[in-house]
C-alpha cells in the first residue's frame, strides 16, 4: 500500500451468506480521486459500498484501508430512509451527530466538535438553517445537511450512495458543484454510486462499471469507448 | 372526597410513584421507538407479557420473575423480526401478539377460570402495584434515565440514521438491543396497572404528541417525558374521583392531549403559511 492510497481492493469477492454478488475486483482509491460507480440494479454497487465502508467482510481477496480510515473516519452519505422525512431534529443536531467518535461518553459535545460542525455547516451553506427542523427542509437542503454531517466524520474520503435521488435538476446540479469543489479544492476523495451518468462523466476521474457480465474500470473517455459505455454515449452528449 | 385525601391511601401512593416512574421511562423509550417505526414492537410485547403473566400464575411463579425473562427474550425476537428483510415484519409481530394472547387465555381458562384475573390483566388495576413493584420501578427508572443521559447523542444518531452510525463505527445492534430490553422491562412493570391492552399507548402517545409540538429531538424528548407524567397524574386523579379504571383513564388523557397538540400544530401551520 502506498502513502496516498486510501483503499486498495485486490481480487475482491463480496456477497452474502457465501453467495458472491461481486467477484475478482481490483480497485485502488487514492486521496483526491473522484470515482463513480455505475451499473445495473442488483449488480452489486451497494454491496461494494458496504465493503468499502468496512461493514461487509470479503468472501475472498482483500480490502486494505489506510490507517486514517479505520472504522469511524469515513464520511458516508447513505440513501435517505422513509423514517427521516418526518424526523424532528434541528439541522444542528443532525450535523453534530457526525462528530461522535467512539471514544468517551459525554452528554455535551466539546467546543472543538461544535466548531467543526459550525465550520462544515458554513461550508455547505446551511449555517443559517441550523435552528430549523430537518423535516421542513427541501430535498436539496436535506442532502447538504447530511453532507455536512459526513464532513464532520471524515476529512479525506466521502462515500455517497445515489446522492441525487429525489432531487430536482437544479438541486442535483448544486450538489455536484459542491462535490466538485470539495474534490478539486480540498483534495477530498469521492466515491459515488449514481444512476445519473452525465455529471459522472464530466467531473469524475474514473468510472467503475459493475455489470452481471463483468466490470470495467477506466477514465470517463475510456468508459464511453468501451462496450459497456457505448450505450450511454448518446445520453452523455 | 378531596384529591389530597386520596394520597392517604397506601395503594394510591404506590400507584402514583410506580406509575410516574413507568410513564417517564415509557415516554423516553417511546421517542426512538416511534421514530424508528418500532411502535408495533411495544404493542407485541404487551401481549407477550399478558401470556407470560397467565403462565406464571398457573405455574405458581412470582409474576415478575417469570415474565421479565420471557418478555426480554420476546423483545429480542421481535427486534430481529422487525429488522429482517426476509420477514413481513408487521404480520409476524401481529401473529406473535395474537398467539401469546390466545395462550394466556387458554392457560387461565384451564386454571383459575376466566374471572376478574383476566379483566385485571387486560385492562389493569390500580391495586396491582406491590411494594416490590415500586422498588423495581425505582431501579428501572434510574437505569433508563442513566442510560438516556449517558448515551443520549448516540441514541439520537442511531435513531436518525442507522446506516451512517454503522459506517462511523457504532455498534448499532447493541443500542437496539438495549432499547428493546428497557422497553420490555417498562412494559412488564407497567402492564398490571395499565393493562396489557393499554400499556403500549404509554410508549406511543407521548412521542406522537411531542412530535406535533416540537422541532428538535431534545425538545421532543423532554416534552414527551413531561406529557407522559402529566397525563398519568391527571388520569390517576380522575380515575380516583370518578372511580373509572386507571389504565383507560390515563390513555384517554393522552388521547385528549394528542388531539389538542394536533389542533395546535394545524393552527400554527395555517398561520405560518
**Structure confidence at residue B27 as a pLDDT band (50, 70, 90):** very high
What pLDDT score does B84 carry?
76
Torsion from C-alpha of A125, A127, A132, A133, nearest 10 degrees: 70
- Which chain B residue shows the shortest CA-CA distance from A81? B161
Of the candidates B37, B149, B169, the beta carbon closest to that of A71 is on B169
Q: For every residue of A6-17, which 3-state class applies, written as one string?
A: EEEEEEEEEEEC
- Whether residue A100 and residue B170 make contact (CB cut-off 8 A), yes or no, is yes
Question: Worst-scoring range by mean pLDDT, A40-44, A128-132, B55-59?
Answer: A40-44
- Whether residue A83 and residue B35 make contact (CB cut-off 8 A), yes or no, is yes
- Whether residue B153 and residue A84 make contact (CB cut-off 8 A), yes or no, is no
Question: pTM for the complete prediction?
Answer: 0.86
- Whether residue A102 and residue B218 make contact (CB cut-off 8 A), yes or no, is no
What pLDDT score does B117 carry?
67
The full DSSP string for A43-109 is SSHHHHHHHHTTSS--SEEEEEE-GGGSTT--EEEPPPPGGGGG---BHHHHHHGGG--SS---SS-
If one counts every other C-beta atom within 10 angstroms of the C-beta of residue B87, the result is 13
**Structure confidence at residue B251 as a pLDDT band (50, 70, 90):** very high
Average pLDDT rounded to a whole number, residues B115-120: 70
Residue recorded with cell 453467495: A19
CA distance, residue A225 to nearest chain B CA (Å): 35
**Structure confidence at residue A26 as a pLDDT band (50, 70, 90):** confident
pLDDT digits (tens, 9 = 90+) for A49-88: 888 888 888 888 888 888 777 655 678 888 887 778 788 9
Q: Which position has the higher pLDDT, B40 or B86?
A: B40
Domain boundaries, chain B: 3-272
Q: Which position has the higher pLDDT, B229 or B42?
A: B229
- Whether residue B166 and residue A55 make contact (CB cut-off 8 A), yes or no, is yes
Contacts of B217 in chain A (CB under 8 A): 87-90, 93
pLDDT at A35 over 80: yes
Q: Which position has the higher pLDDT, B265 or A103?
A: B265
- Whether residue B215 and residue A98 make contact (CB cut-off 8 A), yes or no, is no
Tell me how far apart the terminal alpha carbons of chain A are, to the nearest angstrom: 38
- Whether residue B150 and residue A98 make contact (CB cut-off 8 A), yes or no, is no
- Whether residue A78 and residue B167 make contact (CB cut-off 8 A), yes or no, is yes
Burial classification of residue B115, based on how many CB atoms lie within 10 Å of its CB (0-12 exposed, 13-18 middle, 19 or more buried): exposed
Of the candidates A74, A79, A97, the beta carbon closest to that of B160 is on A97
What pLDDT score does B82 carry?
78
What is the number of CB-based contacts under 8 A between chain A and chain B?
Answer: 88
Cell numbers for A188: 477530498
- Whether residue A93 and residue B218 make contact (CB cut-off 8 A), yes or no, is yes
Pairing of strands A189-193, A206-210: unpaired
Average pLDDT rounded to a whole number, residues B87-94: 81
What pLDDT score does B216 carry?
93
Name the helix (H) or strand (E) containing A113: helix A111-123
The yes/no answer to whether this complex scores an ipTM above 0.90 is no
Gap between the Cα atoms of B22 and B29, Å rounded = 11
Q: Which of B267, B37, B216 is nearest to A134 (CA)?
A: B216
Cell numbers for B47: 401481549
CA distance, residue B222 to nearest chain A CA (Å): 13
- B217 interfaces chain A, CB cutoff of 8 Å: yes
Specify which of A32-36, A197-201, B149-153, B258-262 reaches the highest per-range mean pLDDT. Answer: B258-262
CA distance, residue A131 to nearest chain B CA (Å): 8
What pLDDT score does A72 carry?
54
- B76 interfaces chain A, CB cutoff of 8 Å: no
- What is the percent of chain B where pLDDT is above 90? 32
**Structure confidence at residue B256 as a pLDDT band (50, 70, 90):** very high
Q: Which of A123, A165, A176, A159 is nearest to B166 (CA)?
A: A159
**Structure confidence at residue B114 as a pLDDT band (50, 70, 90):** low
Of the candidates B36, B167, B217, the beta carbon closest to that of A83 is on B36
Average pLDDT rounded to a whole number, residues A114-120: 89
Average pLDDT rounded to a whole number, residues B149-157: 88
Specify which of B2-16, B59-73, B243-257 reaches the highest per-range mean pLDDT. Answer: B243-257
What rounded mean pLDDT belongs to chain A? 82
- Whether residue B160 and residue A84 make contact (CB cut-off 8 A), yes or no, is yes
CB contact at 8 A, A135 and B217: no
Gap between the Cα atoms of A81 and B251, Å rounded = 31
pLDDT at A132 over 70: yes
CB contact at 8 A, B168 and B53: no
Homologous superfamily of B3-272 = ABC transporter involved in vitamin B12 uptake, BtuC (1.10.3470.10)
- Whether residue B151 and residue A53 make contact (CB cut-off 8 A), yes or no, is no
What rounded mean pLDDT belongs to chain B? 87
Contacts of B154 in chain A (CB under 8 A): 100
Of the candidates A71, A86, A97, the beta carbon closest to that of B153 is on A97
- What is the percent of chain B where pLDDT is above 70? 96
Of the residues B85, B160, B176, the best mutation for testing chain A's interface (the one with the most A CB atoms within 10 Å of its CB) is B160
- B154 interfaces chain A, CB cutoff of 8 Å: yes
Contacts of B168 in chain A (CB under 8 A): 71-74, 76, 98, 100, 153
Gap between the Cα atoms of A153 and A147, Å rounded = 10
Contacts of B173 in chain A (CB under 8 A): none
pLDDT digits (tens, 9 = 90+) for B163-194: 888 888 788 888 888 888 889 988 988 888 88
Amino acid at each position: 500500500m502506498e502513502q496516498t492510497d486510501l483503499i486498495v481492493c485486490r481480487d475482491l469477492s463480496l456477497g452474502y451468506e457465501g453467495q458472491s454478488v461481486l467477484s475478482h475486483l481490483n480497485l485502488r482509491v487514492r486521496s483526491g480521486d473522484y470515482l463513480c460507480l455505475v451499473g445495473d440494479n442488483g449488480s452489486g454497487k451497494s454491496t461494494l459500498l458496504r465493503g468499502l465502508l468496512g461493514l461487509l467482510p470479503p468472501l475472498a481477496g482483500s480490502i486494505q484501508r489506510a490507517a486514517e480510515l479505520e472504522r469511524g473516519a469515513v464520511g458516508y452519505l447513505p440513501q435517505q430512509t422513509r423514517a427521516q422525512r418526518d424526523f424532528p431534529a434541528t439541522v444542528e443536531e443532525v450535523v453534530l451527530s457526525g462528530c461522535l467518535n467512539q471514544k468517551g461518553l459525554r452528554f455535551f459535545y466539546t467546543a472543538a466538535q461544535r466548531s467543526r460542525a459550525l465550520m462544515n455547516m458554513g461550508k455547505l451553506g446551511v449555517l443559517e438553517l441550523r435552528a430549523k427542523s430537518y423535516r421542513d427542509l427541501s430535498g436539496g437542503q436535506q442532502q447538504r445537511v447530511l453532507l455536512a454531517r459526513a464532513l464532520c466524520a471524515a476529512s479525506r474520503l466521502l462515500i455517497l450512495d445515489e446522492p441525487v435521488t429525489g432531487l430536482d435538476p437544479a438541486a442535483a446540479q448544486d450538489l455536484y458543484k459542491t462535490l466538485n469543489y470539495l474534490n478539486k479544492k480540498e483534495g477530498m476523495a469521492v466515491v459515488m454510486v449514481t444512476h445519473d451518468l452525465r455529471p459522472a462523466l464530466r467531473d469524475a476521474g474514473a468510472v467503475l462499471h459493475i455489470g452481471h457480465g463483468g466490470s470495467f474500470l477506466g477514465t470517463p473517455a475510456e468508459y464511453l469507448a468501451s462496450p459497456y459505455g457505448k450505450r450511454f454515449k448518446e445520453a452523455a452528449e | 372526597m378531596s384529591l389530597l385525601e386520596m394520597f392517604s391511601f397506601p395503594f394510591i401512593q404506590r400507584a402514583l410513584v410506580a406509575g410516574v416512574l413507568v410513564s417517564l421511562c415509557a415516554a423516553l423509550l417511546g421517542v426512538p421507538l416511534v421514530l424508528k417505526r418500532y411502535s408495533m414492537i411495544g404493542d407485541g410485547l404487551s401481549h407477550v407479557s399478558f401470556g407470560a403473566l397467565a403462565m406464571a400464575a398457573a405455574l405458581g411463579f412470582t409474576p415478575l420473575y417469570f415474565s421479565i425473562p420471557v418478555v426480554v427474550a420476546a423483545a429480542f425476537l421481535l427486534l430481529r423480526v422487525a429488522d429482517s428483510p426476509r420477514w413481513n415484519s408487521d404480520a409476524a409481530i401481529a401473529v406473535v401478539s395474537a398467539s401469546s394472547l390466545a395462550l394466556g387465555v387458554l392457560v387461565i381458562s384451564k386454571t383459575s377460570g376466566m374471572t376478574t384475573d383476566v379483566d385485571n390483566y387486560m385492562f389493569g388495576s390500580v391495586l396491582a402495584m406491590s411494594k416490590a413493584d415500586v422498588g423495581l420501578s425505582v431501579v428501572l427508572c434510574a437505569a433508563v434515565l442513566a442510560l438516556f443521559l449517558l448515551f443520549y447523542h448516540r441514541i439520537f444518531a442511531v435513531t436518525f440514521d442507522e446506516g451512517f452510525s454503522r459506517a462511523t463505527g457504532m455498534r448499532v445492534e447493541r443500542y437496539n438491543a438495549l432499547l428493546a430490553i428497557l422497553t420490555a422491562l417498562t412494559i412488564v412493570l407497567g402492564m398490571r396497572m395499565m393493562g396489557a391492552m393499554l400499556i403500549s399507548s404509554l410508549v406511543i402517545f407521548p412521542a406522537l404528541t411531542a412530535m406535533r409540538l416540537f422541532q428538535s429531538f431534545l425538545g421532543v424528548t423532554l416534552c414527551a417525558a413531561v406529557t407522559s407524567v402529566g397525563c398519568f397524574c391527571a388520569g390517576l386523579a380522575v380515575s380516583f374521583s370518578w372511580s373509572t379504571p386507571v389504565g383507560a383513564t390515563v390513555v384517554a388523557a393522552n388521547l385528549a392531549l394528542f388531539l389538542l397538540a394536533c389542533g395546535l400544530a394545524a393552527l400554527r401551520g395555517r398561520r405560518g403559511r
